[in-house]
Structure 1
Amino acid sequence: MTHQIRTQHAPGTTQHAPSTTGRTPRTTTPSATRALARRRALTLPASAGVLVLALTACSASSATTRDDGTTVLRYQGAVASVGYPELAEDLGYFEDVELEWVGDVTGGPASIQAAVTGETDYGNAFNGAIAKLASTGAGVTSVITYYGADDLTASHFYALEGSGVTGARDLIGKKVGVNTLGAQSETVLRDWLAHEGLSRDEIDEVELVVIPPVNAEQVLREGQVDAVSLGGVLQDTALERGGLTALFGEADLYGEFGYGSIIFRDDFIARNEDAVADFVQGTARAIRWAQTSPPEEVRERYVSILEERDRGETTDLVKYWKSTSIPTPGGVIQEDEISRWVEWLEDDGQIEPGSLDVPDLYTNEYNPYANGTYAPDAGPDGEEVTS
């Protein structure tokens, strides 16, 4: 059961991270169509198949190319937040790609839907949401990890101290606030409840309430819900105010792990492969820059980017940035970051077992930390990283 609490929106946050100019040479020139053509046709309800065909039919398959050969990639950002592609552009890591901001988005499912319909050229979301989208027949491929959990940065679910909610069974018949449905918070919560021994029927009695992340703490403290998911700066500021009990964290279940990917449509990759390759190498180097630079330097760069783009955003939240949260150098995708959620969706009855071939859902072909351009322990320009 789900419903939505409508609250006033305020600036939200997403933790992402900023080279010197110059293009990373590729050791190979891979053919995107080779891997992407392996995607199997899925057995879908007629209405779902018609919807996917309609969406992809009206989507643009080629990006805008300027007279100087620069490819313009449209994207949605997040208020008061710097994404790794934005960081890459600021650092000068793109040679043939330019980003065009077309607005902000509050959730991953909406981001990848915009990419599928052609409103944007790429999107990003939780890997489980991407797998669910792929199961409908949408041709999309993950190209780089953009967020995860590590020992410094991870989300948790919280209840109020003294509320009587201290464990999984206490949530039966209660309300839990999540940022959106069909994404990471819902999936992780349901997985934890199952790990704690709740039956499918008992899990279904936990009512999910959609709340904008920036309002989650307020809604919890007002007693409108019994637990909420908090992460990043919103978690840090809530803990500073006290009075919360942690129920569990995503790292408690999976340890250090990559949770979400940036995706492109398969037809877009096939027609704009050089642009996608440049985008991925630049974004990977930006992630590596943030992984290997002192946190205060990353925070200073974020403040500079937010101020220079002049969108009226606060920079007050940047001080809470601790780490990229990405466990692999440069955001290289690991297969279990995808397969875990495919298996979960199959077990939960949301997709047909065997309908998705995990290797067809992602590629590391363009990532310099996976394709042999840079060693896994190298810095953003291939230099040796020293501790």
Structure 2
Amino acid sequence: MGKPHLPLWRWMTVLLVAALLLTGCAGNGSPKETGAAGEAGKGGDGLFKIRVQSQTGFNEFWVAEELGYLKEEGIQLEYVGLLGASQAVAAILSGDNDLFMNHPDTIVRAILSGAKLKITTPGILDSQEFPHMVYFTKEGSGIRSPHDLAGKKVGVSSVKSCPDLVFTEWLRQNHLPKDAVEFVVMPDKQQEQALKQGLIDVATLHPPWIKRAQKNGGVTMLTNSFEVVKSPAGGSSVRGFSEKFIQEHPDIVIKFNRAMAKARKWINQNRKEAEAIVAQRLGIKPEDCSSFYFDENDWVKEEYVQAWLDMMIRNGELEEGKIQAKDLYTNEYNPYYVEAKKQGAL
């Protein structure tokens, strides 16, 4: 028997979310994974299958799989294919995906469009040493500051997401309008070559592609996300589920949080080994693979979510008071938060 038809209002919500959101942070590589996924739930092996979009950049999921952290909790990730942020969220609403991984601004847009989602799990943060994004120019281009960018083309993996929002924030800080530049959408993986060919004037790269561009040479860093936002929040990428999934599988959310906390901390403490794991999955050399700095907080911190709302408000992408940071996340299914609360440590 097939899956029951969604009511018309639900399909309208799915389509509206997909129309408003574009692809999110992704490395745009060629992952060695396939995506024929079934229903969420226990398989014949006794593991609970969580469906998630296939990964194209540096991520903690592959590390958690390799180290057995997910299996210890009775969880197996099932990859549903390459999805942009909008597609991944729409797939959650239609029941074809379970887990999202986005920046808070994407979740804001989805919730305001009617999606019932909750952030449950920390992901990455930003740092000067391991930046979330680096904006590169071609060596010798003469572009040294935002005031050299009038009419220039900026490569971004998406719009209405982290690459253009952070860049727009940098323009605003320097008293320049968003339309001072033209955003050109293309995968991170293609931007280094496009920059050197003169198809774009600025390339916006995430891990793992930052290190490769620096190693190849011929590029100059214009700025990075940490320098713009001046806070670890500049890289805040979070994970979560639909409210329906959380209500139906609260124990799985708790176990997922436990596995991910282990993986995030292990990556920061064993960076070379983590880069080797991801490089193998992407089919690139470990020495060409850069990595994110992962959030070592055991639960979601409101100030990191709030920073993205503030950035959206400052840049005219969100009306002040329209939504609160506390509306976006829950820590009630995080075992570390629950224990700290029980001990009176909060």
Q: TM-score, normalised by structure 2?
A: 0.79
Report what 1:196 is aligned to. Answer: 174
Q: How many percent identity over aligned positions?
A: 27
Aligned Cα RMSD in Å?
2.9
Q: Which amino acid aligns with 1:291?
A: N
Q: Conserved in 2, the CA contact under 8 Å of 1:70 and 1:96?
A: yes
Q: Distance in 2 between matches of 1:231 and 1:98?
A: 26
Residue aligning to 2:90: 113
1:212, distance to aligned residue in structure 2 (A): 0.9
Query: Residue deviations 1:96-146, cap 9 Å, x none?
Result: 3222122234x4344333323322111211221121212212111111122
Q: Using the TM superposition, give the Cα deviation of residue 183 of structure 1 relative to its aligned residue in structure 2, in angstroms.
A: 0.9
Aligned to 2:68: 92
Match of 1:157 among 106, 122, 135: 135
* 1:328 corresponds to which of 296, 299, 303: 296
- 1:291 corresponds in structure 2 to 268
Q: 1:314 aligns with which of 283, 287, 298?
A: 283
- State the partner residue of 1:52: 13
1:171 aligns with 2:149: yes
Partner-residue secondary structure (3-state), 1:180: coil
**Higher helix fraction (1 or 2):** 2
Take 1:322 and 1:50, find their aligned partners in 2: how far apart are those partners?
39
- 1:262 and 2:223 equivalent? no
Amino acid at match of 2:49: V
- Look at both structures and tell me which one has the larger radius of gyration over its CA atoms: 1
Within the alignment, does 1:240 sit opposite 2:215 as a pair?
yes
Is the Cα–Cα contact under 8 Å of residues 152 and 323 in structure 1 kept in the other structure?
no
Q: Secondary structure at the match of 2:96?
A: coil
CA distance in 2 between counterparts of 1:242 and 1:303 reads: 20
In structure 1, the partner of 2:224 is 249
Q: CA deviation at 1:149?
A: 1.6
How much has 1:49 moved relative to structure 2?
A: 8.9
Give the match for residue 351 of structure 1.
318
Query: How many residues were matched structurally?
Result: 308
Deviation per residue, 1:149-181 (Å, 9 max, x gap): 223311211222332322112222221110011
8 A Cα contact 1:161 1:243, kept in partner = yes
1:211 maps to which of 177, 181, 186: 186
Deviation at 1:365, TM superposition (A): 2.9
Counterparts of 1:350 and 1:319 in 2: how far apart (Å)? 38
When residues 159 and 321 of structure 1 are mapped into structure 2, their CA distance, relative to the original with a 3 A threshold, is closer
| AA at the equivalent of 1:233 | P
Q: Is the 8 A contact 2:11 2:94 kept in 1?
A: no
- Give the secondary-structure state (helix, strand or coil) at the position aligned to 1:103: coil
> AA paired with 1:298?
A
Q: 1:177 to 1:146 in 2, by over 3 A?
A: same
Q: How big is the shift at 1:246?
A: 1.9
3-state SS in 1 of match to 2:81: strand
The secondary structure found in structure 1 opposite 2:223 is strand
For the residues of structure 1 that align with 2:223 and 2:187, how far apart are their CA atoms? Answer: 20
Note closer, same or farther for the CA distance 1:286–1:355 as it changes in structure 2 (3 Å cut): same
CA offsets 1:239-270 (integer angstroms, 9 cap, x no match): 22323232211111223334211121111111
> Contact conserved, 1:49 with 1:136, CA < 8 A, in 2?
no
Residue 221, structure 1, aligned to residue 196, structure 2: yes
Per the alignment, residue 103 of structure 1 pairs with 81
Q: CA deviation at 1:53?
A: 6.8
Counterpart-to-counterpart distance in 2, 1:262 and 1:169: 36
Q: 1:236 to 1:141 in 2, by over 3 A?
A: same
Gaps of 5+ in 1: 1-46, 57-61, 307-312, 375-387
Contact 1:173 / 1:205 at 8 angstroms: preserved in 2? yes
Deviation string, structure 1 residues 69-102 (Cα, Å, up to 9, x no partner): 64221111224x5632333233232323222122
Distance 1:256 1:126 in 2: 13
Q: 1:116 to 1:362 in 2, by over 3 A?
A: same
1:123 aligns with 2:90: no
Is 1:329–1:369's contact at 8 Å kept on the other side of the alignment? Answer: no
Residue 310 of structure 1: aligned partner: none
Distance 2:267 2:216 in 1: 29
CA contact (8 A) 2:58 2:291 kept: no
Q: In the TM superposition, what are the counterparts of 1:360-371 in structure 2 within 5 Å? A: 360-371=327-338
Which residue identity is paired with 2:337?
A
Pick the aligned partner of 2:308 from 341, 351, 373. Answer: 341
Distance, in Å, in 1 between the alignment partners of 2:263 and 2:238 is: 15
Q: How far apart are the structure 1 equivalents of 2:312 and 2:217?
A: 35
For structure 2, the residue ranges without an aligned partner over 5 or more in a row are 1-7, 18-38, 342-346
Deviates more, 1:360-369 or 1:222-231: 360-369
Query: Structure 2 vs 1, CA of residues 243 and 300 (structure 1 numbering), >3 Å: closer, same or farther?
Result: closer
- Partners of 2:85 and 2:284 lie apart in 1 by 23
Cα deviation code 1:317-363 (max 9, x no counterpart): x3345654124335x32212211222232343333321212112012
Give the Cα–Cα distance (whole angstroms) in 2 for the partners of residues 371 and 88 of structure 1: 22
